[in-house]
Amino acid sequence: MTQVREGLRPLRPAWLSVSLVVSLVVVAGLLCLATLAWLPTVVDMPTQLGGIAAWWVVVLFVALAASSDVIYVPVRHGDAWEELTFVEVVIIWGVLILQPFPALASALVGFGLVALLMRRPAVKSLFNLGSYAVSGAALMVTYLALVGDAPRFGWRSVFALLVAALVFTALNLFMLSLILLAAEEVPPREFIAEQWALSVGMAVGSVGVATVTLAVFETSPALTAFAALPAVALWYAYRASSAHAEARERSHWLVALGQAVATPGEPEEVIPRAADALRRVYGADEYAVVLHSGQRFGSHEQWQPPSLMPREARTLGAQDLPPGWTAGVAVRLEDLSGGGVLALGSKQEPAGVTRHLPWARSWSLDDTDVPGLVALTTAVGSSVRAGQTLAALTEETAKLQAVVDHATDGIAVVDATGELLLWSPAARRITGVTVPAGATPPEIVQRVVTVPSGSGVELEYERADGQSLSLHVTRVDVPGSAAPSVITIRDMTRERRAERMKADFIATVSHELRTPITPIRGYADLLKRRWDKMSEEKRAQVLDTIEERANHLTRLVDDLLIAARASTETTLSVELQDIDVVEVVQEAARAFPELDGRITIEDAPPQMVRADRTRVTQIVGNLVGNALKYTPPDTPIQISFGPGDPTEVRVTDHGPGIAADEQDRVFERFYRIEDPLTMRTGGSGLGLHISRELARAMGGDVRLNSSPGEGSTFILQLRPEGN
């Protein structure tokens, strides 16, 4: 008969339980036994074997049955190992030699003894005994019914035995499929389809072995041993072959384990593959892995491994086993950060007295297997550790790469031999130079080769596109001999320009503030000291000057405040109303004494715009003042208007004009084209800046059209009325 090691998948009716199947089988077995006991009273049964007392035969049968249950040959069938026994042969012998009841009863006693001695689980043993009783009784009744009075070794008898053995097999398969469905949810159809050929072969073979040995025994008992020899030889051959197959499979899984371990990865990649290979190497049914981090692998997620796990493999006691396991060993997983426990185990019978190889009925590890298992789990641990280190390294590298790629500063790495290892995108962008890794570093890198580590140089750099940059280049040596140097390239052009602008601004503002203070303070002093000597007219003139200069100073301070506000606030406050821009411009221009000579205003009809009257006056004043300041004294300045949306006020001069690359910068805060020492007088460098800011606050803008040598037109754009 066959037993199955590995189960398949679901579909069991809810009412079908293991205990129900076992109970039914046991009851059916008892009924069959009773039937066999009752049978001789109605049927004339064949006699005993010649010369031997019947009770000796019964004892012999008990012994034969017991040994047939213990001695078996493992056979590889599909994915499972199946154990072929001589149980059928003994039962056929029984029906040929003894009366049915003693034959079956003595066989069952033999099986029962084995179960007790081997401490097999009671439920399983009861089921086996019940199913043997049912199928054995069926075999005997079938045989007796078919053989009639025919001679024991005639054609009819052999036919009857074959049919009886098939009935035995069929019933056996049926009951096995039931218990497997109940216990492991193995679909019966699949199970029978898998098993029937092997079972039928076994039945036919058993008939052959049983009849031949018996016939020889009856003819010449001395030759019986020879008749049994082929069977024994076959048994040995099977065992050798299965051991060979076992070894081959083991090496196959060792190779698989090697591959799993040789590919370092995350625990979730390595551990399932490696643990499954380990399970197969050691013939275990199940594995469970729990890492210190809490990560779990295998089918028993709720298992808590024993807290103190020795380095050596340890047989797990009932309290340590994962649920559903009947036997198992656990090993500490070495080399994993925090460690872990790997357990291999079996769902079969518990580890018994004997410590068999995996194909034995009870699963456990041989002592000689332990060092190997420890070494292999250490390898698994190392592999996972390596994988984690690799992953961490990869992540770290990716982070550094992102930093290098997105840093604003250019980064270059040069090795000890002076070879360029890295030239970052920012380095390319700043210098405009593309250099492949491995090439000689660009000249700018060579400049810092000799400076001490941690320091740098400031240098002026002329880029290929003609831009002149202020660069700060620093070098830091990575610690370690022959280690590379990291060079950073910072573009300081804006900072340096801002610094220069700031210095210019301070010089300018200081000059601009001191210039009006000089006459104010001077005249005040003069009035105090020389009041009497000064004419009435002179005093009035002096006071006018003081007043005018004080007003100028006030305007200057106002301009500074507006510029400061424009740089810190999102919008400047303006009071919008509908005004006639032509009239406002005429009034603003009247403030300039040159109006009659240089300045001409287009004679235009009223243009209503939505704007702040004071601010428009201020802007027009700035634009006209600017034109007066920066153009030769005899050149005309024209103010014209452009109706529409936007409504425009254009101030055109015929001065030197402004170069294209300066045109945007004249609107920058504190920007002046000239050297402060020799600049044409007046102006803080704020006029155009605040004019544009104020125009934008009113929803308009100030634009510039200019070509060097021809003059400039500053255009104030305003929104038409109602907008």
By C-beta, is 388 or 545 nearer to another protein?
A: 545
By C-beta, is 515 or 705 nearer to another protein?
A: 515
**Are the CB atoms for 698 and 712 separated by under 8 Å?**
no
Residue 495 beta carbon to another protein: minimum distance, rounded to whole angstroms = 22
By C-beta, is 215 or 534 nearer to another protein?
A: 534
Stretch that binds another protein, among 77-85, 154-162, 263-271, 543-551 (CB under 8 A): 543-551
Site string for another protein, 547-566 (x = CB under 8 A): -xx-----------------
Give the span between the Cα atoms of 275 and 377, in whole angstroms: 8
Taking CB under 8 A as the rule, does residue 545 contact another protein? Answer: yes
**Are the CB atoms for 420 and 414 separated by under 8 Å?**
yes
Residue 409 beta carbon to another protein: minimum distance, rounded to whole angstroms = 33
Q: What is the DSSP letter of 43?
A: S
Stretch that binds another protein, among 274-282, 475-483, 516-524, 693-701 (CB under 8 A): 516-524
Strand arrangement of the beta sheet that strand 296-298 belongs to = 296-298, 286-291, 340-346, 327-333, 314-315
By C-beta, is 576 or 673 nearer to another protein?
A: 673
Of 720, 688, 672, which Cα lies nearest the Cα of 623? 688
Q: How many residues line the site for another protein (CB under 8 A)?
A: 30
Give the span between the Cα atoms of 632 and 634, in whole angstroms: 6
**Total number of residues shown for the chain:** 723
Please select the residue that binds another protein; options are 372, 519, 636, 643, rule is CB under 8 A: 519
By C-beta, is 215 or 513 nearer to another protein?
A: 513
Distances (CA, A) of 470 to 406, 423, 424, 447, 459: 21, 19, 19, 14, 6
Considering only residues 675 to 714 of the shown chain, the ones binding another protein according to CB under 8 A are: 676-681
Taking CB under 8 A as the rule, does residue 525 contact another protein? Answer: yes
Residue 681 beta carbon to another protein: minimum distance, rounded to whole angstroms = 5
By C-beta, is 265 or 519 nearer to another protein?
A: 519
By C-beta, is 428 or 538 nearer to another protein?
A: 538
Please select the residue that binds another protein; options are 138, 162, 457, 534, rule is CB under 8 A: 534
Q: How far is C-alpha 198 from the geometric centre of its chain's CA atoms?
A: 48
Taking CB under 8 A as the rule, does residue 187 contact another protein? Answer: no
Taking CB under 8 A as the rule, does residue 499 contact another protein? Answer: no
Of 234, 337, 247, 325, which Cα lies nearest the Cα of 283? 247
Taking CB under 8 A as the rule, does residue 494 contact another protein? Answer: no
Taking CB under 8 A as the rule, does residue 526 contact another protein? Answer: yes
Please select the residue that binds another protein; options are 122, 498, 517, 591, rule is CB under 8 A: 517
By C-beta, is 243 or 517 nearer to another protein?
A: 517
Q: Count the neighbouring beta carbons within 10 Å of the beta carbon of residue 13.
A: 8
Taking CB under 8 A as the rule, does residue 533 contact another protein? Answer: yes
Give the span between the Cα atoms of 152 and 160, in whole angstroms: 10
Taking CB under 8 A as the rule, does residue 514 contact another protein? Answer: yes
**Are the CB atoms for 420 and 438 separated by under 8 Å?**
yes
- The two beta strands, 327-333 and 80-85, are unpaired
Give the span between the Cα atoms of 178 and 406, in whole angstroms: 68
At 193 the three-state DSSP class reads: helix
HEC sequence for 664-695: CHHHCCCCCCCCCCCCCCCCCCCHHHHHHHHH
Taking CB under 8 A as the rule, does residue 208 contact another protein? Answer: no
Considering only residues 619 to 678 of the shown chain, the ones binding another protein according to CB under 8 A are: 676-678
Please select the residue that binds another protein; options are 542, 550, 572, 673, rule is CB under 8 A: 542
Please select the residue that binds another protein; options are 520, 560, 572, 673, rule is CB under 8 A: 520
Of 160, 159, 167, 162, which Cα lies nearest the Cα of 145? 160
Summarize as ranges the residues that interact with another protein (CB under 8 A).
507, 510-511, 514-523, 525-526, 529-530, 533-534, 538, 542, 545, 548-549, 676-681
